[in-house]
Amino acid sequence: MARYIRKRVATALIVTLGVSFLVFLMVNLLPGDATAVMLAEFGASAQQQEELRRQLGLDRPLMVRYWEFLTNAIRGDLGRSLFTRRRVTAQILEQYPATIRLALAGMGIAIVLGSIAGVTAAVNRGKLFDTGTMFVALLAVSMPSFWLGLIFIFFFAVRLGWFPTSGSATLRHLVLPAFAIGLRTAGVLARLIRSSMLEVLRQDYITTARSKGVSERLVIWRHALKNALIPVVTVIGVQFGFLLGGTVITEIVFARQGIGDLIIKAIFSHDFPLVQGGVLVLAVVFVFVNLSVDLLYGFLDPRVRYD
Amino acid sequence: MNYRSIIGKSFWLIALLLVLAVAVAGCGGGTDEPADEPSGDPSDDPSDEPSDDPADDGPKDLTIGYYREFTILDPHMSSAGLDSLGLRAIFDRLVEVNSTEGGEIYPALATDWEVSEDGLVTTFNLRDDVTFHDGTPFNAEAVKFNFDRIMDPETASQSAVFGMGPYVETRVIDEFTVEVEHEYPYGPFIRTIAAASYGMVSPAAVEEMGDEFTQAPVGSGPYKFVEWVGGSHVTLEKNTDYTPVVSFNRDEAFYETVRFQFIEEDSTRAAALQAGETDAASNMAANDFVRLRDSGNFDTHVYTTLGGPPAGLQLNVSNAPTDDVLVRRAIIHAVDSELVREVVYEGIPEPSGGILSRHDFFYNPEAGEMYDYDPERAAELLDEAGWVMESDGMRYKDGQLLEIKYLTLPGVRNVAEVIEPMLVDLGADVEIWALDNPMQQNTAQDGEHNIVWTQWSSNDPSAIRGRFHSENIGSGWNFYHYSNPEVDELFVEGERTTDPDERKEIYDRIQYILMDDALMVPLNNVAIMWAFRPEIQGWEPADSTGWFGFVMNLHE
């Protein structure tokens, strides 16, 4: 197991390095740079733009800048944003807690709703409840989160006044956005869990358990669900990884703090240090989540061996 | 089993309720009254509590739903107009200028000033009763520190440095007198330094905090900086030691605190105001603005900016077919800017004056009203230019189709879509390219386009040199690819002339030439739409430089 983890961490490092280099290349090879954004409002002469480019160090060769970024990053210094002139690490640390809170809450809602709906639908296969649940799940998957968020705001915040429209200061600020992203993932999970459950319920050991007189509730929620979740865990892991990358649309609609919004804006304004630093952090998180999921397999499925 | 049928029934009941709920939410949006109940429990931030209790005589707080997060609250580094509102509250400038009423300049931190006979030296007498928020005095040394800081390459100034002109140095004459020397007479100087970018920072605070100054800015303005929570809000508090420095400001700030809550999504910003979470919503989308205005429950106001060119289409003179002045004139006549204002902006913005805003002291109406909407005239001009309408409804010249490449930012693609059919009616084939900013600049510099949508503003007309002077073709912002030695010369003359009336003549002439050469399709003046809780007063444009100064004047 330890060897496996070491191997995986080593791979993760290589992947992260590769990602950071690719991102660096992509951002820098796009035509134009941050000075165009900075000067877009009031303008300047060509010569003044060139001067600013020099002052910000954007005129130096690509590889020199990448090497500098990399050596500084290893020491934990991701540089400063070209626009806010703040430390990239400070900006990421400031925004990330809100993203993690939203991802956890959204995933929690998705797992609870998705499991209940998926299992109940599988048990009631072919009945009205099954068809109805799967229809609602399909609706949830197809609904744009942008639209759903706005509907939530108008109904639950403006009309009923139950929750604040926007912001990220308290738990009450978390409810609407968590549902806005959670419902969609719940729809995905419900459909997956249903088909996975149907598969498992056909297995011999379920018949055995039933014939031994184990209560139906125990058969379904313990024996069957645990096995049905194995393929689902991968999907949960990937979905969670994406959620941890920031749900840009939801963050913007509810005016929440968050890493997704931060990085997207940085990309649009060609704020190189912030893009590079932000993507590096996201890559590390994503790789770490995937590793955790793989390790979780061992817990769910004793047949999996790490060697 | 029995319980399953129960689940089945309750499922459909819940589903029905959900559908009803969504339907109610969707249709019931008509009344737009501010919600009665304050949302947010007592443990919430104060911002969640509307401060509109009439019996409450205690300290009042103002929360503004602001359309973007501030970029940086250091005046010398900021390049963004969106920062101006915060910068003007925290920092004072040497002068204020009223660009609309004859271009009058008001004293602020400087009580008076004088330009030497040869136009090279500007002498400022400074107020002797001003202290920065950190308690250190404002004086001549501070002015020198500020101007030198703007010029310092380390600062990498993104706006302020460009208005300093041929700056040589600032000399401290005595504690409250400074001289600023330029290499040659620089006319725009006084008007330019009234902009938010020329706010006076506390030298002691900059020296103490270094790179972190941008996180805790210290000025001498009516509000002091309290905190900046990234992605959420900036809070300012009243500067109780403030002595008003501008004649048209209120005596002192009314609100104990001002909070800028950053809500980027237009609909959410409107919803937060309706829900009573904020007291004002900035930069509203036209449809939200009209909805809230027509509800009668909010006060609304439209602000505009000065300088230019205001929103319009720049025509590229280096690429066929717009290299022909007749074609350019035809395009201007063919565009119904009123329809654009109606369809895209609910008719709220005023028409543009072409090169400069109609409110600008330097605006030349003769240039601004040179063209009217006249599709027939447009067709005649194209005939005259040799572009013949064929049976397929398109125009050709020497077998070449009349093709127009229209470059736009994605955010104003809707403008392009309204204009496209007008050009198609003329017999042109229109291709729309929507590119975001850095790529737009690159593409426009290459000059492969015919039309590019842009919008600018400035305190002083000298700033438009960046758009029209031939030195900025290919690597700057001269997207017209326009090169006219007479205009180049006039820009230089405009900068070196200090007399306002002589300057006005020069910029009148420039505007006339540019419009006569048909460089610009005027569309609309910038319209910045705000809505306020009805109790709030004082939102009329407070100073001149358009609207940026008004936050400190708000009261109830």
Q: Is the model's pLDDT at B207 over the cut of 50?
A: yes
State mean pLDDT over B423-450: 91
Reported as a single tens digit per residue, the pLDDT across B39-48 is: 333 334 444 4
**pLDDT recorded at residue B114:** 94
Residue B301 tokens, joined = 């106001």
Give the Cα separation of B121 and B181 in Å (integer): 4
Q: What angle do CA A253, A258, A261 make, to 5 degrees?
A: 65
Cβ separation B232–A252 shorter than 8 A: no
Distances, alpha carbon B250 to alpha carbons A195, A251, B98, B552, B553, in Å: 69, 38, 16, 8, 6
Distance CA B470, CA B484 (A): 7
Task: Tell me how many residue pairs between chain A and chain B have CB atoms under 8 A apart.
Answer: 218
Residue A175: which pLDDT band, with cuts at 50, 70 and 90? Answer: very high
Distances (CA, A) of B151 to A179, A241, B162, B199, B331: 51, 46, 9, 14, 42
β-pair partners for B451: B315, B406
- Tokens representing B10 are 């309750």
Higher pLDDT, A49 or B59: A49
- Which of A120, A160, A162, A166 would you mutate first to test chain B, the one with the most B CBs within 10 A? A166
What's this model's pTM, rounded to 2 decimal places?
0.85
Tell me if B89 sits within 8 A of B259, measured CB to CB.
no
| Across B183-193, average pLDDT | 91
Which residues between 468 and 487 in chain B have a beta carbon less than 8 angstroms from any beta carbon of chain A?
Answer: 469, 471-477
User: What confidence tens digit (pLDDT) does each residue in B314-325 have?
Assistant: 999 999 999 999
Name the helix (H) or strand (E) containing B488. helix B485-496
| Mean pLDDT for the stretch of residues B68-80 | 91
**Quick one: closest CA in A to B18, which residue?**
A136
Lowest-pLDDT choice from A284-288, B8-12, B422-426: B8-12
Contact list, A246 vs chain B (CB under 8 Å) = none
pLDDT greater at residue A304 or residue B228: B228
Cβ-nearest to A44 among B12, B80, B162: B162
Contact between A237 and A289 (Cβ < 8 Å) = yes
* For residue B13, pLDDT beyond 70: no
Q: Which amino acid is at A140?
A: A
Sign of CA dihedral A146, A148, A154, A160: negative
Residue B546 confidence (pLDDT): 47
Model confidence pLDDT, tens digit, residues B275-316: 999 999 999 999 999 999 999 999 998 888 778 899 999 999
Residue B17 has pLDDT above 70, yes or no: no
> Comparing C-alpha atoms, which of B217, B215, B235 is closest to residue B45?
B235
Could you give the CA distance from residue A5 to residue B288 in angstroms, rounded to a whole number? 54
pLDDT the model gives residue B100? 59
- Checking if the pLDDT of B168 tops 90, the result is yes
Which residues have CB under 8 Å from A278's CB, separation 6+? A88, A92, A259, A262, A263, A266
Residue among A33, A46, A132 whose CB faces B475 most closely: A46
pLDDT in tens, B133-152: 999 999 999 999 999 999 99
The predicted pLDDT at position B166 comes to 93
Window 46-65 of A, Cβ < 8 Å to B:
46-52, 55-56
User: Is the pLDDT reported for residue B22 higher than 50?
Assistant: no
> How far, in Å, CA of B486 to CA of B468, rounded?
11
Mean pLDDT, residues A261-285 taken together: 87
**Residue A40, pLDDT above cutoff 90:** no
**How many percent of chain A have pLDDT more than 90?**
31
Phi, psi of B528 (to 5 degrees): -100, 115
More confident residue, B450 or A145: B450
pLDDT at B233 over 50: yes
pLDDT tens figures, A197-244: 898 888 888 888 888 888 888 888 888 888 888 888 888 888 888 788
Provide, as residue numbers in chain A, all residues whose Cβ is less than 8 Å from the Cβ of B28: 159
pLDDT band at residue B183, thresholds of 50, 70 and 90?
very high
Average pLDDT for chain A: 87
pLDDT of residue A227: 84
Q: Does A101 lie at the interface with B, CB-CB under 8 angstroms?
A: no
Phi and psi angles of residue B303, each rounded to the nearest 5 degrees, phi first:
-105, 155
pLDDT exceeds 60 at position B398: yes
Residue with the larger pLDDT of the pair A166 and A20: A166
Question: Helices (DSSP H) in A153-214: which residue ranges?
Answer: 172-201, 204-211
pLDDT-based confidence at residue B336 (cuts at 50, 70, 90): very high
Phi then psi for residue B315, to 5 deg, are: -105, 135
Specify whether the CB–CB gap between B182 and B168 falls below 8 A: yes
The answer on pLDDT for B23 being more than 80 is no
Supply the pLDDT for residue B27: 39
- Burial class (CB within 10 angstroms; exposed 0-12, middle 13-18, buried 19+) of A58: middle
Query: What span, in angstroms and rounded, lies between the C-alpha atoms of B33 and A130?
Result: 42
Query: Mean of the pLDDT values across residues A112-133?
Result: 91
**Contacting residues of B for A46, CB less than 8 Å apart:** 471-477
Q: pLDDT for A292-305, tens place per residue?
A: 888 777 777 777 66
Does residue B252 or residue B534 have the better pLDDT?
B534
Q: B287 in contact with A at a CB cutoff of 8 Å?
A: no
* pLDDT above 90: residue B243: no
What average pLDDT does the structure give for chain B?
A: 85
Note whether B22 contacts A: Cβ–Cβ < 8 A. yes
Angle among Cα B380, B383, B388 to the nearest 5 degrees reads 135
Report the pLDDT value the prediction gives residue B451, as an integer from 0 to 100. 96
Selected residues 197-236 of chain A with any CB under 8 Å from a CB in chain B = none
- Interface probe for B, chosen from A77, A84, A91, A133 (most Cβ of B below 10 Å), is A84
**What residues form DSSP beta bridges with B61?**
B257
DSSP reduced 3-state for B431: strand
Residue A46's pLDDT band (cuts 50, 70, 90): confident
User: Which of helix, strand or coil describes residue A62?
Assistant: helix
Q: Does A121 touch chain B (CB under 8 A)?
A: no
pLDDT in tens, B528-542: 899 999 988 877 764
Q: Which residues of B28-54 are buried (b: 16+ CB within 10 A; e: fewer)?
A: eeeebebbeebbbeeebbebbbbbbee
Across the interface, which of B8, B231, B441 has its CB nearest the CB of A36?
Answer: B441
Q: In the numeric block, which tokens belong to residue A159?
A: 């009309």
Nearest CA in chain B to A254: B268
Q: How far is A239 from chain B (nearest CA, A)?
A: 24
Q: Which residue has the higher pLDDT, B305 or A255?
A: A255
Q: Is the model more confident about A249 or about B488? A: B488
Query: Are A256 and B231 an interchain contact pair (Cβ–Cβ within 8 Å)?
Result: yes
A291 forms bridges with which residues in the sheet?
none
3-state secondary structure of B406: strand
CA distances from residue B110 to A64, A123, B130, B178, B424 in whole angstroms, order as listed: 46, 81, 11, 10, 56
Identify the sign of the CA torsion B194, B196, B197, B199: positive
Choose from B33, B152, B477 for mutation: most chain A CBs within 10 A: B477
Where are any strands of DSSP class E within B318-466?
388-389, 395-397, 400-401, 403-408, 429-434, 451-454
pLDDT of residue B260: 95
Question: Residues 6 or more apart from B304 whose CB is under 8 A from it?
Answer: B349, B350, B357, B359, B525, B526, B527, B528, B546, B547
- C-alpha–C-alpha distance, residues B151 and A182, integer Å: 51
